[in-house]
Amino acid sequence: MTSDREVLIVDDDASARETLAAVLSEHGFAVHQTADGPAALKILNSNRGIRVLLTDVRLPGMNGIELLAKVRVADPSVHVILVTAYAQRNLALRALKHGAAEFLPKPVDAATLLRVVERCFYRSRLDKLAAIGKEALGRLKSRAILCTTEGKVVSSAPDIAALVMDAGQLNAGEYVWDALGWVELRELFEKDFAGPIVIPRQDVSVQVQRLLLDEGVNQVVLVLTDISGLRQVQRDLLSVTQDIEARVSERTRFLSEEIEFNDRLLDTADVLIAYVNPDGRLERWNKFAVDLTGLTFEEASLELAELYRDRRSPLAEIFDPYWEHEITARIAPFSGPEGTSRLLAWSARRFREAPGRFGRLIVGMDVTEQKQLESTLQHYNAYLEDIVRQRSRELKTKNAQLIHTARLASLGEMVGSIAHEMKQPLNVIAITSDLIKLLRKNGKLNDELLESNLEKIRMTVERMSDTINHLRGFTHVDSTMFKRLTLKEVVDGAITLVGEQIRQDDVDLIVEMSNPAASFRGDRNQIEQVLINLMVNGRDAILDAVAAKSVDPANRSITIRQAETENQNWIGIEVVDYGTGMAPEVVRHIFEPFYTTKDSSRGTGLGLSICLNIVRAHGGDIEVESSPGQGSVFRILLPVDLEAELAQERR
């Protein structure tokens, strides 16, 4: 790889190295790459055309500073640029102390990279020209010709011909310009001009200087010096200078266009843009600012100077050029034309112009309409929230009434069971009373027998009282207090209320509880209502199947069992019947209000809908498995601790 623009990149991060190489290659540089310091030294030794080395500071084995030191010893003409993500002042000073040409902090943008690398190549060319010039000065050849003050040759150095080359023979008495054929020499004698003058020829450039001898001596010495090498250096230097001037001119034009474009852009921006210089004077006030505030640049300069001096003003910190802290989206009013006021979201930050000198860049976005809209929306949201709360209260009341109505509707199913629950203890009371009378008549009633039979009556009355209280609680509208319940008590409670009626239809109730003490938090009456509804529906499905002769008499039973759950934080109850079952299209609709497959005398279509609402109010759900002719399984799933489950969902 040979080029006059060769660069070596050293970085152990292959991705970063390839990216830098791609940028430089795209701009005409010949790029070498390697991952460590020793390999870089080998590449430099075998490629003397490399003039710029770009290296990361952190390298395996030999770091960037150590590589810099070795490169400076091996070839001081190589310009080393250090790149690092650790842009620390002491690290930069160490790099420059060891002879680094540039120090770049990461991340490096392409424009900065190219500018720095180009600058290093210019320096390299200038260094090369300086070295060539120095070498040329060391090789300068000078010869002398002794002439009269009129310009006639008196004598010359013996080897003058080697210097003047194609010039003629120097003969004493001839005019020197005629002898050499250099007419330019005449002005050294005719105009009393000491020179020097340069005689340019095709293969050589000679500088001629006239030296006067002692006063009274009618002779001068012409000193001829071959400056061909220096002239080449001068031409190369001129080329570099012209190249730099062209680039400076192009850069100046580009910056001028960019400044002009930025000015136009600022004036078309829909935000207020202002800049206060380090001396506290306003330097920029865009067109939007003028239109918004009604203040010209001159008027704004006076107004804002007063603003940041008045520390009570909410705009003081925003426009203060000496305020060090950044401000973001601070809402503050600004006076507009004709006494109006606009709300602006202000952002301001320091802008470094020079070491120790900072201006203030201020941007203000007009949010007046936005804030007015936000206020309107807040009032509207508050109004909607009031409506939602009111509707929620109404729905809650109606839902409670609907659940209560459904409970009352269930009483018809409970009549048989309630009658059974009452008749049995009443029978016990009646028989015990008759026994007491008989014992008293026969003279066998002693205190012990009397107390024993009275205790039996008292216990029977308590049993009846529990049944009545259970029934009252089931029909109570506001029974919404959740408490810890066990599976056994809610299943037993439901069977107490409706079990006897179901058994009277020759349908058995089977209870299977693997852990009867398993508990959850809920409303007992509501969960019992769900179980009653599911058991009654199961009974109806079995009776329908019996009527259709599609059920085995051995399967005239409903099973209430504890369901297996994968999550120990959930508990399940299954109600299983072996009735008619349901098709998939029926299952999809059974929880919809007023949907029913029964005739109007047997159902309203609200039972399962209410059941689902109750279970979901407990944080749970109901699952259904059913097939025509195979029966149905209704699975109630409830969280063991509703509050903990809701907290988990919120997290």
Nearest to 131 by CA among 4, 233, 6: 233
* pLDDT at residue 602 in the model: 59
Q: Which fold has domain 368-477?
A: Helix Hairpins (1.10.287)
* pLDDT at residue 178 in the model: 85
Confidence of residue 645 (pLDDT cuts 50, 70, 90): low
* pLDDT at residue 577 in the model: 92
Q: Pick from 250-264, 397-411, 449-463, 570-584 the range whose average pLDDT is largest.
A: 570-584
Work out the percent of the chain whose per-residue pLDDT is above 70.
80
Q: Reduced to 3 states, what is the DSSP secondary structure of residue 490?
A: helix
Q: How many CA atoms lie within 13 A of 315 on its CB side?
A: 19
* pLDDT at residue 303 in the model: 83
What lies within 8 Å, CB to CB, of 492 at 6+ separation is none
Confidence of residue 478 (pLDDT cuts 50, 70, 90): very low
Instruction: Note whether 598 and 540 are within 8 A (CB).
Output: yes
CATH of 480-650, one of 3.65.10.10, 2.40.40.20, 3.30.565.10, 3.40.50.300: 3.30.565.10
> Is the peptide bond between 628 and the residue preceding it cis, with omega within 30 degrees of 0?
no
Domains 269-366 and 480-650 share a fold: no
Other C-beta atoms lying within 10 Å of the C-beta of residue 569: 11
pLDDT in tens, 65-108: 888 888 888 888 889 988 877 656 667 677 777 788 888 887 78
Does this model's pTM top 0.85? My answer is no
More confident residue, 568 or 251: 568
Q: What is the mean pLDDT of residues 492-501?
A: 83
- φ and ψ at residue 482, rounded to 5 degrees: -85, 140
More confident residue, 595 or 221: 221
Please state, in angstroms and rounded to a whole number, the distance separating the CA atoms of residues 259 and 278: 20
* pLDDT at residue 512 in the model: 93
pLDDT in tens, 167-184: 556 788 888 888 888 888
What single-letter amino acid sits at 372? Q
Confidence of residue 479 (pLDDT cuts 50, 70, 90): very low
Flag whether pLDDT at 309 surpasses 80.
no
Instruction: Note whether 163 and 143 are within 8 A (CB).
Output: yes
E strand or H helix at 93: helix 89-97
Flag whether pLDDT at 311 surpasses 60.
yes
Please state, in angstroms and rounded to a whole number, the distance separating the CA atoms of residues 330 and 349: 12
Q: How many CA atoms lie within 13 A of 518 on its CB side?
A: 21
Flag whether pLDDT at 533 surpasses 90.
no
Lowest mean pLDDT among 18-22, 154-158, 242-246, 585-589: 242-246
* pLDDT at residue 603 in the model: 58
Phi-psi region of 12 (alpha: psi -120 to 50; beta: other; left: phi over 0): alpha
More confident residue, 254 or 512: 512
Nearest to 64 by CA among 13, 11, 14: 11
| Sole residue written with tokens 């029966």 | 631
Flag whether pLDDT at 413 surpasses 60.
no
Work out the percent of the chain whose per-residue pLDDT is above 90.
11
Please state, in angstroms and rounded to a whole number, the distance separating the CA atoms of residues 247 and 249: 5
Q: Reduced to 3 states, what is the DSSP secondary structure of residue 63?
A: coil
Confidence of residue 643 (pLDDT cuts 50, 70, 90): low
Instruction: Note whether 167 and 179 are within 8 A (CB).
Output: yes
pLDDT in tens, 347-369: 999 888 777 788 889 999 988 88
The full length of the chain comes to 651
* Domain extents in the chain: 6-137, 141-226, 269-366, 368-477, 480-650
Flag whether pLDDT at 374 surpasses 90.
no
* pLDDT at residue 463 in the model: 65
Flag whether pLDDT at 409 surpasses 70.
no
What lies within 8 Å, CB to CB, of 3 at 6+ separation is 29, 30, 49
Instruction: Note whether 635 and 563 are within 8 A (CB).
Output: yes
Regarding beta strands 30-34 and 6-10, do their DSSP bridges make them parallel or antiparallel, or are they unpaired? parallel
Confidence of residue 625 (pLDDT cuts 50, 70, 90): very high
Rounded to the nearest 5 percent, the helix, strand and coil shares of the chain are 50, 25, 25
First-residue to last-residue Cα distance in the chain: 62
Please state, in angstroms and rounded to a whole number, the distance separating the CA atoms of residues 143 and 136: 16
Please state, in angstroms and rounded to a whole number, the distance separating the CA atoms of residues 87 and 85: 6
Secondary-structure class of domain 6-137 per CATH: alpha beta
Q: What is the mean pLDDT of residues 581-600?
A: 81
The dihedral sign for the CA sequence 464, 465, 470, 475: positive
* pLDDT at residue 403 in the model: 57
Flag whether pLDDT at 138 surpasses 90.
no
Q: What is the mean pLDDT of residues 462-466?
A: 68
* pLDDT at residue 633 in the model: 94
Flag whether pLDDT at 528 surpasses 70.
yes
* pLDDT at residue 3 in the model: 61
Q: What is the mean pLDDT of residues 471-481?
A: 52
Please state, in angstroms and rounded to a whole number, the distance separating the CA atoms of residues 491 and 487: 6
What single-letter amino acid sits at 211? L
Please state, in angstroms and rounded to a whole number, the distance separating the CA atoms of residues 138 and 601: 126
Distance set, CA 64 to CA 45, 56, 80, 173 (Å): 17, 6, 10, 70
E strand or H helix at 526: helix 524-547
> Is the peptide bond between 584 and the residue preceding it cis, with omega within 30 degrees of 0?
no
Regarding beta strands 79-84 and 219-226, do their DSSP bridges make them parallel or antiparallel, or are they unpaired? unpaired
More confident residue, 75 or 428: 75
Regarding beta strands 79-84 and 50-56, do their DSSP bridges make them parallel or antiparallel, or are they unpaired? parallel
* pLDDT at residue 575 in the model: 94
E strand or H helix at 329: strand 327-335
Tokens of 108: 């490096």
Phi-psi region of 173 (alpha: psi -120 to 50; beta: other; left: phi over 0): left
Please state, in angstroms and rounded to a whole number, the distance separating the CA atoms of residues 329 and 284: 20
Instruction: Note whether 403 and 526 are within 8 A (CB).
Output: yes
Task: List the CATH code of the domain at 141-226.
Answer: 3.30.450.20
Q: Pick from 308-322, 368-382, 593-607 the range whose average pLDDT is largest.
A: 368-382
CATH 3.30.450.20 given to domain 269-366: yes
pLDDT in tens, 96-134: 777 888 888 877 888 888 888 888 888 887 777 677 666
